[in-house]
Amino acid sequence: MADNEKKVIAFVVEGPSDEAALGTIMQEHFANERVKFLVVHGDITTRDYVSIDSIVKRINGLLENAKKKYMYTTSDFLQVIHLADTDGVYVPDESVIQKEANAESGKSSILYFEDHMEADNVEVTIQRNRRKADILFKLRKTGKIGTIPYRIYYNSCNLEHVLYDELKDFTDEKKEEMSDDFAEKYEGKVEEFITFISQQSVAVPGTYKETWKYIEKELNSLNRHSNMHQIFSKSQNKELLEK
C-alpha cells in the first residue's frame, strides 16, 4: 500500500514520554496506516480553559492543527485514539486527605497511593476530581470528533503505573528514560506487548462501556488497571469504525 493511500490514526497523549514508550509499538501494529501522535504537553482534561462544553472542541482543535501541519484533510483520518490517565479522580471524597507537612516533596501537589490520595489542598483536589470525572464521562460517550471515529482509553492511576508497576511522581527526565527502555524492550515484539497489556493483573475485562463503569467505582481509579488492550481488539475497532 502506498503511503499516500494510508489512513491516519491520531493518538492524543499527555506528554512526549507517552509517545516514546508506545510510538514504535503502535506504528508496528498499525503498519497499514499512518500513526501520528498529538502531544498535548499536559492533561487536557484538567486545564483551566477546558469544560464539559468545550472539551470536544479542544480535541478537534488538535486535529485541525495536525491537518495544517501535515496537510491532511478530514477524510485522511481513520480514527482518533485518546490515551488518558485516571489520576484517581473517581475515588470517594473521603479518600482525599491532607498531605502531611513533612510528606515527600516534589513538583506535584498530589501524592497517589492505591488506597487514598494526599493533597496540599483537599477541597481543590476534590473539585478537580469531579470536574475531570465529568469531562471523562463526556469523552467516553463521544463516539466521533466531527465525522472522525473517536475513543478514549485509560491508564490508572497513570501510564507509568500501568507500564512499570510504580506509583510515583517521576520527573519528566525519568519518564523519558523509562519510556526509552520500555520501547527498546518491545521493539519488534508487538505481540508480546499485547500479551503484557492484556494480562489479568492489568486489563479490565468486558466491553468498552463496562471497562469504564469498572474504573469509575470505589478506589479502582487508583489501582493498576487499563482498558488499553482494547485498542488491539479487531471486534472493538470494527464496532467503532462502523458507527
Give the three-class secondary structure for 152. Answer: strand
Please tell me the predicted confidence (pLDDT) of residue 108: 67
* Grid coordinates given for 119: 493533597
Q: Roughly how many angstroms between the first and final C-alpha of the chain, as a whole number? A: 25
Please tell me the predicted confidence (pLDDT) of residue 150: 98
Task: Kindly report whether the peptide bond that precedes residue 157 is cis, defined as omega within 30 degrees of 0.
Answer: yes
pLDDT tens readout for residues 185-239:
999 999 999 999 999 999 999 999 999 999 999 999 999 999 999 999 876 666 6
Q: Say what the pTM is.
A: 0.93
Residue ranges of the chain with per-residue pLDDT less than 70: 1-4, 101-108, 235-243
Would you say 157 and 222 are in contact if contact means Cβ atoms under 8 Å apart?
yes
Q: What distance in Å separates the CA atoms of residue 223 and residue 215, rounded to the nearest whole number?
A: 9
What type of residue sits at position 87? D
Please tell me the predicted confidence (pLDDT) of residue 1: 41
Give the three-class secondary structure for 154. Answer: strand
Give the three-class secondary structure for 188. Answer: coil
Please tell me the predicted confidence (pLDDT) of residue 240: 65
Q: What distance in Å separates the CA atoms of residue 180 and residue 146, rounded to the nearest whole number?
A: 34
Name residues whose C-beta falls within 8 Å of residue 231's C-beta, 6 or more positions apart in sequence: 81, 153, 237
Query: Taking the domains of the chain in order of start, what are their residue ranges?
Result: 3-88+127-241
